[in-house]
């Protein structure tokens, strides 16, 4: 949208348009998702592109402790995942031996706080105490998650590691 408008100005031809956007590679589950929704309101013609971008960066964690029936302490914290535009959004869970692929989480799960190495995951009151082994949240603002990892594994739909990307931040 921005480049289209800039190309229509009198500056066109006197400058070279360069778009430096990194989040098109991964998108996210909060900040850019909300921005895309707002962009569709302002520019309804963009609805023709369909659902838009989908998140592709996942930071998996496991439940380390259940100190209260409605609270799980997880092994993902500020050192692992961006939080500058809101806490990550709980999306799915997985229990080896029980699932063959991640299962979506129902409504009512929320990260209420994060410290360096843990996230505090609020659970719905109705959730029984035998919960989940692994889970992943949708991140907000991928760039501040990229800079926390020097090596990002690339996985296929079955979560087999098929490659890796080295980051340089």
The answer to whether residues 35 and 70 belong to one domain is no
Residue 133, domain member (yes or no): yes
The pLDDT of residue 127: 61
The pLDDT of residue 129: 47
The answer to whether residues 75 and 19 belong to one domain is no
The answer to whether residues 101 and 145 belong to one domain is yes
Would you write out the chain's pLDDT as a tens digit for each of its 169 residues? 677 777 777 765 666 666 655 555 677 777 777 777 787 788 877 777 777 677 778 889 989 988 988 899 999 999 998 888 889 989 888 888 888 888 898 888 999 999 999 999 998 877 654 566 788 888 877 778 888 888 989 999 888 999 998 887 7
Residue 55, domain member (yes or no): no
In whole angstroms, give the CA distance from residue 51 to residue 11: 33
Residue 56, domain member (yes or no): no
Domain that holds residue 33: 2-49
The pLDDT of residue 75: 94
Q: Which residue has the tokens 């998702």?
A: 33
The answer to whether residues 34 and 98 belong to one domain is no
**What's the number of domains the chain is made of?**
2
């Amino acid at each position: 949208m921005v480049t289209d408008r800039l190309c229509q100005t009198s500056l066109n031809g006197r400058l070279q348009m360069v778009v430096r956007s990194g989040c098109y590679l991964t998108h996210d589950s909060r900040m850019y998702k909300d921005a895309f929704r707002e962009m569709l309101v302002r520019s309804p013609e963009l609805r023709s592109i369909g659902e838009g971008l989908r998140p592709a960066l996942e930071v998996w964690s496991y439940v380390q402790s259940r100190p209260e029936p409605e609270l799980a302490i997880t092994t993902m914290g500020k050192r692992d995942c961006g939080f500058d535009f809101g806490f990550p959004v709980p999306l799915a869970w997985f229990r080896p031996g029980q699932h063959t692929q991640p299962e979506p989480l129902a409504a009512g799960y929320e990260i209420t706080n994060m410290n360096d190495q843990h996230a505090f995951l609020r659970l719905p009151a109705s959730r029984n105490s035998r919960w989940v082994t692994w889970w992943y949240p949708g991140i907000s603002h991928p760039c501040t998650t990229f800079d926390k990892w020097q090596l990002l594994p690339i996985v296929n739909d079955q979560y087999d590691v098929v490659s890796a990307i080295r980051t340089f931040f």
